[in-house]
Structures are given as C-alpha cells and as structure tokens.
Structure 1
Amino acid sequence: MRGSCSSASFSGAGGGRRRRAAGRLILVVSFWLVAGPGTAGESASAPPNVVLIMADDLGWNDVGFHGSEISTPHIDTIATEGIRLERFYVQPICSPTRAAVMTGKSPARLGIVQPISKLDPTGLPLDEKILPQYLAAVGYQALMVGKWHLGHRQRRYFPHARGFEHFYGHVTGGIGYWDHNHGGGHDWQRNGVTVREEGYATRLIADEAVRLLESRDKARPTFLFASFNAPHLPNEAPETSINAYPVNLDAGRRTHAGMVAELDAGVGRILAKLKREGMQDNTLIWFFSDNGGLNPSANPGGLVDAVEFLVSIFGEPLPIESLEFLRSNVQDGASDNAPLRAGKTSVYEGGIRVPSALWWPGRTRPGISTAFVTARDVLPTLLTAAGFSDAIPQDLDGVARWDAIVSGEASRQNAPTPPDFRVQGLGAVALIRSPWKLVVPSPPLFGESEVELYQIYEDPEEKRDRAAEQPQRVAEMLAVLEAWPLGSEIHAPLSQIFFDPDAFGGAEEDRAPWAEAAE
C-alpha cells in the first residue's frame, strides 16, 4: 500500500468505561476514557506526563503506517498501538503551525502567517499565554528540545522565557545538521547560551530529550516538547542512514529517507526512555508534523515557479545569498505526500494534512480516528485529556477534541461540528468548513484567478472542483474568510528579507542575540 488515505471512522478493540468526577484535581484520575490496570511505574492516579513530538516537513507518505518505502518502526508504534489521526490539519508553513499549537488560536489572528525570518524583530506576541505556561500553572515541569521558530531577535521571545524551564536546540528555522548554522550565525544553544557541540542535530536533540527525562523532577508531572528539525532541508544525513536505502532510489529521496530514519530513531529513544523510567503507562504521546513535505515536482506553481523564473534570468547559484538559500530549499525537497495534492507552502491537502498519531498506553484503544482535528486544538485537547478542562480559556479558536478522538462522542468540551479552519499558504488562502474546502488564490500578476471548492472527505486528492455547482456555498464561505479577524503581521517587509544582501549572512547586530559568528 502506498500513500493510503483512510476514510474510515474510529475503530478499535477492547472495552472500557469513562468515570466522572466533581472537582478539578479529581478530574485528573477520572478522565480515563478506557479503563486500564494499574502500573508498576508512576502512579496512574497522577496527572499524565505529556510528550509532544513534532517533525519538521514530514510528508504524508514519509511514514511506514501510510505505506512509505521509508522504514519508521518507532513512529509506527505510536500509530499502531495508539490512535492514527487521519484528519489532522496544520498550516502549510512552520511558524504559523507552531503558533497555533502553543496558543490554541488562529495564527492569522496572531499576525503570524509566514515563517518568522532572520530579520523579523519580534515573534509570538508576548501577551499570549502559551502551552507550557498553562501546564506549569497546574503543576507541570515544561521542557523543550529542538526547533523553536517563534521569535529570536530578543531574548524575551526565547522558549525559556516563555514557560519552558529548560530549552536546548535552535531558535531560528532550518539549520545545518552538522554545523548548526543559520543565516551566517551559529544557532545552537542551551537556555539562551550559545554552545558548540559536535554531532548530527537530530541525534543531539534526542540525546538531550533522554537526559531531561532521566533528570526530571519526579515530584511533578512532565511536559516534554520534542520539536525535531528533521526532515527539514538542507538534505544532510549520516552515511550509515543513507546507505540503508537502495542506490537506485533517487539521490535526494535517498538522503531524505536517511533523515527520516534519524527522526524515527530519535522517537524510538524517547519511547525507550519512557519505558525504562517507568513513565510509559502514564504518558500521553502525540506525534505530528508541522506541515506537509516539500517536493517541487508535486507542488508546481507559486514559489516553485518564482524560483525557476529567477534561475532563468540569473542562473545558478542566484546572486543574492538569501535567494540562493531559498532556491536550494525549494528545489532540493524530496518528501512524498502521495496521494494528497501538492505539499509544503500550499493550502491543498498535501501541505496541511499531515501524519499524526496519539498514544496513551493503557488508556487509549488502538484504532483510526477521522475526527477533524487541527493544530489549534492541541492545547485545549491536552488540557482536557490531563483533567484540567476548567483551565481552558474562553477566547481560544481551538476546541478540545479529546472525546472526538478517543471515542467519537460529543461532549461539552467539543463543538458539535468542528469550527471553521482558515489556512494561509504562499499564493492562496483556504477555508475548511468540514467537509467542504474553499481555495482562494492570491491575485496573479496576469490574468484571473478562480476560487475552487472541494468536498475533501469524498475527494481527498482534490481532483473535482465543485465551485460552479455550489455558488451559494462559495459565497457563504467567502464571506467567512472576509470577516476573519486578522492581527497585525509581525514580519519584516519581504523586500528587506529577499533583497537585502545582508539578510542571510548579515551584520553581527542582526544575528544578536540568537547566534555567534559562524566559523
């Protein structure tokens, strides 16, 4: 099976009953939707540990449980032992998804609609309470390893200033896997202090995650956010991981497979450590990618066309460092989102519907859920699962989808119908009013652009545009998009990012405080 795209409803084996409780703390022990036996490790009556694992640019068909040729046994364990979320939606670009996960809000409302660039002066608004702060308020220790990408020009935007007690990794976007450099600076740090450590970044992230689990405060529940950099470009992997795949595989895909294998190995090390520490049976593990995979051959138009146009004029490499960085990233992508359409940066399904699975050993039944769940639902869903639903504020755009995921039942925490979901990519905006999806292209330089409408449950590959058949629905959804609350964009002007010769390499003051000079 290659790139399967399930349309089945939740299925699972085993029984259970949901217990009820009256108080906030009692909810912690009573919110099990499937009863399980006691464990020899941490007490099952304590609030659950939470491990959130995010991949970077992982394609729909880059995982074994979707039929990929890439072996991902540890990620597959989460999917087969837990619940596969077959309709998990994100934004098509990294920073907006991360903002939604951290706040439970639409990133457009926060002003984060594109990747936070090296020159962006701010980041995720400081007046927003975010996931680690919510969990810390109910007794958790919050720990983070890996990629942040929600603000780096001022230290007050760093993870350890936003509720994480410990942070290790990088605060900007894609870095070199071996040199840990980004945009002329060295971006590898521990709690705001630049460190120089040899090693492959994905492995170092896993190393630190394992150390943090071992040294955690055992008197408190743990929240670990393992935000892996893989398989984001540049295409770099250890030779041993690349050589595990046949030489007749496309060279870019072969290296990409090695990067995914390293990601999977890191996930495996975290799972093994949870078991050794006696944490596994009281830990909720949630895995997903921040957006779809990047593959220019599967995502023509938009950014790909723009890059090809520049290459036709200037040749390779492009004369401005920032544009050459962009070209290499766009043209080297080797993810596979089949059978979904397009990929990273696109509002089509390949850019926003991503591999995801949730596993709480002993508490969730193996199965497949087709509940519509989005990145902005992660925060309220985790708080509900942990028994702290009364800590969820009323001003979120996301809703708790715990019952919908685990049993398909509606509850007071779940909207009867998932709320509208706005997606913004490069070159288009979309609105999902499940099961319908409206795609509104940005005005082109020449000619006209037509809106498109798809019934994505019946047509997940988006082959049949039904806009002409449903003019009233199109009009209603357009009105929703036009009325959507938008925050002030935090981003530096594109002209400054793309055409400033110093944008990627820049002056020392541009890099401060996130990096030291690259060697």
Structure 2
Amino acid sequence: MIPFRFLVIALCCLAFGTQCLAGPKRPNIVVLVADDWGYSDVGSFGSEIATPNIDTLAREGVRFSDFHVTASCSPTRSMLLTGVDNHRNGVGNMPETMPDEHLGKPGYSGVLNDNAITVATQLRDAGYHTYITGKWHLGKTADTLPDNRGFERSFIQADSGSDNWEERPYAPLYDKAAWFENGQPAHLPKDYYSSTFIVDKAMEYIAANRPDGQPFFAYLGFQANHVPVQAPKDVIDKYRGRYDQGWTTLRQARRDRAVALGLIPAETRMQTMASTADWDALTPDEKRYEARRMEVYAGMGETMDREIGRLIAHLKATGEYDNTVFVFLSDNGSEPTDPYAIPAIRLWLEMNYTRQLDRLGSKGAFTSIGPSWASAAASPLSGYKFFAGEGGLRTPLIVSGVPNMQADRIIKAFTHVTDIVPTLLDVAGVPAHSGEYQGRAVEPMIGSSLVPVLKGTTDRVHPEDQAIGYELSGSAALFKGDYKLVKSLKPVGNEQWHLYNIVTDPGEVDDLQQQMPERFISMQADYAEYARVNGVLPMPVGYDYMHQGQLYALKHVVVPKLKAAAPPVIAVLLLVVGALVWRRRRRKQVV
C-alpha cells in the first residue's frame, strides 16, 4: 500500500506542476504567538525588556505598526488559524466569559467549528508537516483538538492558561490543567517551565520529520506573559531597580522610544487611564512590591525570547533557518486584571499560591501586573486586554524570511489578524479557498495577503473604503481607512461611540465625531451591517467579564467540588471563607 503522505505529495505535484519536484523548496513557516504582550513589550517596539532574538527577526524582516487582533485570546487565535471572523468560526466569545444568554447560539459555541478550515489543514493537504505546541484554547473535546484540525503532531494546553512551573490550573476556572498530546491526555515533565517546554516539543517534532525533506508549519503558542506571571529568578533579578520610578514614567519612556523608532507620529499624545494609580501616593513597601511585579513580567518576556533564540539556533544548525518564514505577534493587548481583586478567585488563590515579595515569579507563587503596569505595557495606546481601545487591539507584528521582501523597515498600513492565513498560504504557494474546500461549502476567508506590502509593490493592505468590524463581550469597533469607530464597556469606556483617526492619533485622544458627523454616522451604519451579517449578539445589561468569570468558576469547578465533598470539608471551607472575610474587614478598620 502506498503511504498516505506520498499520495498527498503526488496530488500536490499534480496541482502545482513540476516545480513541486524540481523547483525551489517551499519555505518552512514558524508562527510565534505571545500571550498578553502589550504594544511596546518588544525591544524593537520601544521596550526596555531584552528581546534580542525577536528584534533580530524584526531587523531581518518587517515590523507592522498598525496591526490589530481581538481583545482576548481564543477569539484572536480562531481568526489567526482560519482567516474567518470569530463570530462565524464559533468563537464569538471565550467560554469563560460568555453569558448564559449566548450559550449555544450560532457563532457562540466557544470552540472552533467545522465550517472554518484551518491553515494547518490547508498546508497539511498540500504536503506540509504541521505541528502545534503550547496554548490552543479552541476546544478540548476529541473532535475539537488540534489533531482533528489539521495538525499532524501536537502538545497543547487546551484552556486559557495554566501554571508555568507545574501541571496545575492557575485559577478555579478549571479542575485540572488540560494538556493533550496528539489528541490524548498528557502530563508534563517534572523539570517543566512553559516557554522551554513549548520550544523543546517544537524542535522534537521538527527534527523527527526532517529526513524526508518536506517543509513544515510550526505554531508555538507561548503562555508568556499570561497570568500567573512567573520566570527564573536569575532573569528576574536582571531587572532589579529598573521599574522603581513607576508606571507613569515607564509609559512615557516607551512612548518616546516608539516615536524615536518611527512607529508612531512624533506628536502622539496619550490618555491617562482612570485605573492608573498615583505612584507617588504609594508607600515605599508598596512601591517595592509593585516594582517587583513588573520585574517578574520583564523576566518572563526575556525568557520567552531566549527560548525563541534556541529554536532559531536549532534551525540554523540544521540548515533550515534561511528557508523559514517567521511570524511573531501577541494575541491581544496587556492584561489589566488582578485576579486577587475577584473575590471567588482570590479565595482559591489564597489557598493555593503565595504572593510573598521574595517568592514572586517562583514555583508556588502567583502575581500579575494589574491595570497600572498594563497601561505602561500598552504605551502609547489607550486601554488594554478585554476592551476595544487600541491598547487592547493593536499588538506587535513581525514578519521575516519571505522571499524578495524589503527588510528592516516599518509598514504603517492597517493590518488585521485575518490577513495572516492568506499570507501564509501565499508564501507556501497554496491557493486560498474562497468558500469551498474539498467539495463542501465552508466559511470564506476575509483577509488579504500581506505579500504585496512585504515586497513593496503596494503601501496598503485593504482599500480605504473597506469596513472591518470587531466585537467582543460588548466592546466594539469598526475600522475604515485611517479611522476607527469605537466603544468600550465600563469601567474603561462609557459605552458610547467615539471616532478617532488612529494614524495621526493612535493614543485615541481627539474624538472627531463633532468635526466629522457624516463619517461618524456612516461608520455606525457600517458597524450595524457588520453585526447583522456576522450574527453579533447584544450583551446582557450590566455584563462584566470579571463577574462572568466568577460565575463560570462557581458553575464548573467550585459547586461540583462542594457537592462531592464530605460535610467536614465544607465546614472547613466555610471557616476559611469566614476567616478571609474577617481579615479583610479588620484591615479596612485599621486603615
């Protein structure tokens, strides 16, 4: 019997001609997805964090200064892998933040549906090896895992995240850390650290198939810098003292470097987020604690970059680097949420983690950066993860290795996450489907290939009159030409529409609705049409993503465990809750 792989290769040759046999080798493709990195968290985008390997990719390739994703992880990942709007590919919202009113409605299954074809499927069917390691978060039932979505080999985390040092969940959203290898439940090694392990498995998969000479597609979904923010102590300590001046100083410094690098206009102004605390009002102990949180964050980012460097070194040693296209991006903006501020999650954290200053970043310790540092990480933009400001939607994008591209430059054209799949298919020489795949109707891709702008044959990815809509958890936006219509839920926004020119005003300071009333009205009509066509559902009155997360934790983990627990266990839990409530009230009385 002829092996299936060779049948695929033979069909590829029939489809693409003799170049499949005699022409240049098709490029390998590596997609590197950072988790919750703000716009200026990369050195080549203005950061003080050491990211030399990512910066090398930027120097050898292109930086996109106006690239947009969604404001939370799985909706972005669903579009990154399919090129299909998240409301049409099934991920209208994350399961963890989806209100009950939306459950089961079209586009709101919370997992990738079968009508959206992944880039992995298309590349695999064209003769590529396909691998994924790290975060998946697009389903964890047998039919929704990567091995059924085009990936030949996979070792993935199926939830929104997990601990970076151990095999355990990071929040009571899950009863265990859901890891799978090739569709089967899997366990982590004892010496596990997330970024290291994700690169180890990717290199293992790449090396295993190298002898056959076929190109590969490798997708690495890092957990850095998702909560819990954790990193090796020696890397964290490199940043000791670096953040002692506070978040406002850091936000300004990053804004100034972004200007110097040519990423944003020199006249760019910034909003001060209402959630940003007054650094000078903190006590010395509070400042030391807050600075350490950001030191851990920087250490986690640098460690991820080091591991990317190890992958690059491996590809160079095996002669594959010069024939590899790299794409680096973050799935959304910086994370503002402090889980200790969510009562149901705080209780669980107090029972399972420490947050002692001298242990932050280590095994058994939990920290995050909170809204003030998140605003600095998103500098010079407004907002952050979960909301529709540029700080939630605009992230770094670096592309390198595309043949005949014009390297070491900044592309300022508006770019969208749905443009990635058409780009990857273009560089691989694989025709993009247009709504039919292998004889059945599927969701058409909506993005455009970036190859023309990479090669310098055009300076725009999308026509000026093309409207590109966005909605997630009630925050919404519409992009058209240089303009953005946007509204965000409270407490970040006022739930009203605003209009900005995000080319000249990326900080979203000057609302243009009074100066441009016709554009303001017409773009609202464009958004209404986007919402109608894509089945966007209105959010329930009073919706809040943190409150919804508490309800999810109670429904899926806390209540089932209480029901299964013996009465003495319940009594102990009630005593713990009572003690925590008493301690909190006592602290308030002291203050």
1:237 aligns with 2:231: yes
The one-letter amino acid paired with 2:152 is: E
Whole-Å Cα distance in 2 between the matches of residues 341 and 465 of structure 1? 13
Instruction: Name 2:217's counterpart in structure 1.
Output: 223
* Partner of residue 498, structure 1: 550
How far apart, in 2, do the equivalents of 1:449 and 1:501 lie?
28
Aligned to 2:288: none
How far does residue 63 in structure 1 lie from its aligned partner after superposition? 1.0
Counterpart in the other structure of 1:20:
none
Judging by fraction of residues, say which structure has more helix: 2
Q: Distance in 1 between matches of 2:349 and 2:238?
A: 34
User: Where in structure 2 are the equivalents of 1:178-217 lying within 5 Å?
Assistant: 178-182=165-169, 183-191=174-182, 192-198=184-190, 199-217=192-210
- Work out whether residues 162 and 168 of structure 2, in 8 Å CA contact, stay in contact via their aligned partners in 1: yes
Cα contact 1:371–1:408 (8 A) shared by 2? no
- Among 465, 482, 506, which residue is 1:460 paired with? 506
Deviations, residues 166-203 of structure 1 (Å, cap 9, x unaligned):
11121111211012322220323322222131211111
Name the aligned partner's letter for residue 178 of structure 1: W
**Counterparts of 1:422 and 1:264, CA distance in 2:** 32
SS in 2 for 1:216: helix
Report the equivalent of 1:25: 16
The answer to whether the 8 A contact 1:51-1:285 is kept is: yes
Determine whether 1:114 maps to 2:93: yes
Letter in 2 for 1:407: G
The alpha carbon displacement at 1:212 in A equals: 1.6
Q: Decide whether aligned partners of structure 1 residues 449 and 209 sit closer, same or farther in structure 2, where only a CA change above 3 A counts.
A: closer
Tell me, yes or no, if the aligned pair for 2:464 and 2:482 is still in contact at 8 Å: no
Q: Per-residue CA shift, 1:395-435, capped at 9, x if unaligned?
A: 22112221023314279xx6544732222244521111121
The yes-or-no answer on 1:419 pairing with 2:466 is yes
TM-score by length of 2: 0.70
Aligned to 1:346, what secondary structure does the other structure show?
A: coil
Is 2:477–2:486's contact at 8 Å kept on the other side of the alignment?
Answer: yes
User: Within the alignment, does 1:472 sit opposite 2:525 as a pair?
Assistant: no
Q: 1:287 to 1:43 in 2, by over 3 A?
A: farther
Q: Answer whether contact 2:326 2:401 (CA < 8 A) is retained.
A: yes
Alignment partner, residue 417 of structure 2: 375
Please, which moves more after superposition, 212-221 or 279-288? Answer: 212-221
1:2-41 per-residue CA deviation (whole Å, 9 max, x = no partner) reads: xxxxxxxxxxxxxxxxxxxxx9626979xxxxxxxxxxxx
Does residue 405 of structure 2 align to residue 357 of structure 1? no
TM-score by length of 1: 0.79
Report whether the alignment pairs 1:280 with 2:280. Answer: no
Letter of the 1:474 counterpart = F
Question: Do residues 169 (structure 1) and 181 (structure 2) align?
Answer: no
Mapped contact 1:140–1:220 kept (Cα < 8 A): yes
Residue 76 to residue 28, structure 1, CA distance change in 2 (3 Å): farther
In the TM superposition, 1:409-448 aligns within 5 A as: 409=458, 415-417=462-464, 419-442=466-489
Distance change (3 Å), C-alpha of 1:99 and 1:179? same
2:445 corresponding residue in structure 1: 396
Task: Look up the match of 1:254.
Answer: 295
Which structure is larger by alpha-carbon Rg, 1 or 2?
2
Contact 1:92 1:424 in 2 (8 A): no
Higher mean C-alpha deviation, range 331-340 or range 189-198: 331-340
Q: Which has the higher contact order (CA 8 A, sep 6+)?
A: 1
**Residues 135, 221 of structure 2: 8 Å contact kept:** yes
The question of whether the paired residues in 1 share the 8 Å contact of 2:159 and 2:177 is answered with no
Query: How far apart are 1:136 and its partner, in Å?
Result: 1.2
C-alpha distance in 2 between matches for 1:466 and 1:118 = 32
- Distance change in 2, residues 1:390/1:107 (3 Å): closer
Q: Which residue of 1 aligns with 2:144?
A: 157
The alpha-carbon deviation at position 361 of structure 1 amounts to 6.6
User: Displacement, 1:381?
Assistant: 1.2
Q: Tell me the equivalent position of 2:79.
A: 100
The separation in 1 between residues aligned to 2:66 and 2:18, in whole angstroms, is 28
Alignment deviations for residues 255-292 of structure 1 (CA, whole Å, 9 cap, x no partner): 00111011101211111111111111211111111111
Q: Distance in 2 between matches of 1:448 and 1:144?
A: 39
**Identity, % of aligned pairs?**
28
CA RMSD of aligned residues (A): 3.5
Gaps of 5+ in 2: 1-13, 104-108, 244-290, 354-365, 437-443, 564-591
Pairwise CA distance, 1:219: 3.1
d(CA) in 2 for partners of 1:129, 1:135? 11
Judged with a 3 Å threshold, the aligned counterparts in structure 2 of structure 1 residues 224 and 497 are, in CA distance, closer, same or farther, namely same
Could you tell me how far apart the structure 2 residues matched to 1:116 and 1:461 are? 31
Question: Cα offset for 1:125?
Answer: 0.7
Residue 365 of structure 1 and its aligned partner are, at CA, apart by 2.8
Q: Using the alignment, how far apart are the partners of 2:380 and 2:485 within structure 1?
A: 20
Q: Residue 333 of structure 1: CA displacement?
A: 7.9
User: 2:340 aligned with 1:346, yes or no?
Assistant: no
Structure 2 counterpart of 1:435, one-letter code: D
Q: For the structure 1 residues 93 and 28, does the alpha-carbon distance in structure 2 shift closer, same or farther, using more than 3 Å as the test?
A: farther
Structure 1 residues 248 and 355: alpha-carbon distance in aligned structure 2, compared to 1, 3 A threshold: closer
Bigger drift between 274-283 and 329-338 goes to: 329-338
1:68 Cα deviation from its structure 2 partner: 1.1
Q: Tell me, yes or no, if the aligned pair for 1:24 and 1:390 is still in contact at 8 Å.
A: no
Contact 2:36–2:334 under 8 Å retained in 1: yes
Q: C-alpha separation between the residues in 1 aligned to 2:228 and 2:496?
A: 35
| Distance (Å, rounded) in 1 between the aligned partners of 2:153 and 2:421 | 20
SS at match of 2:327: strand
* In 1: Cα distance, 2:19 partner to 2:420 partner: 18
Q: Are the equivalent residues in 2 in contact too, given 1:496–1:503 (CA < 8 A)?
A: no
Q: Decide whether aligned partners of structure 1 residues 505 and 184 sit closer, same or farther in structure 2, where only a CA change above 3 A counts.
A: farther
CA drift of 1:377 comes to 0.9
Q: What is the alpha-carbon distance in structure 1 between the residues aligned to residue 240 and residue 403 of structure 2?
A: 38
8 A contact 1:376–1:397 mirrored in 2: yes
Q: Provide the rounded CA distance (Å) in 1 between the counterparts of 2:390 and 2:215.
A: 36
**Corresponding residue of 1:264:** 305
How many residues are treated as equivalent by the alignment? 454
Local SS of the residue matching 2:329: strand
Distance 1:132 1:113 in 2: 21
Q: Deviations over 1:310-330 (max 9, x none)?
A: 76xx6x9755889x99x9768
Note if contact 1:378-1:400 (Cα within 8 Å) is conserved in structure 2. Answer: yes
In structure 2, do the counterparts of structure 1 residues 330 and 258 end up closer, same or farther at CA, with 3 Å as the change threshold? closer
Kindly indicate whether the alpha-carbon contact (under 8 Å) linking 2:406 and 2:454 is maintained by their aligned counterparts in 1. Answer: no
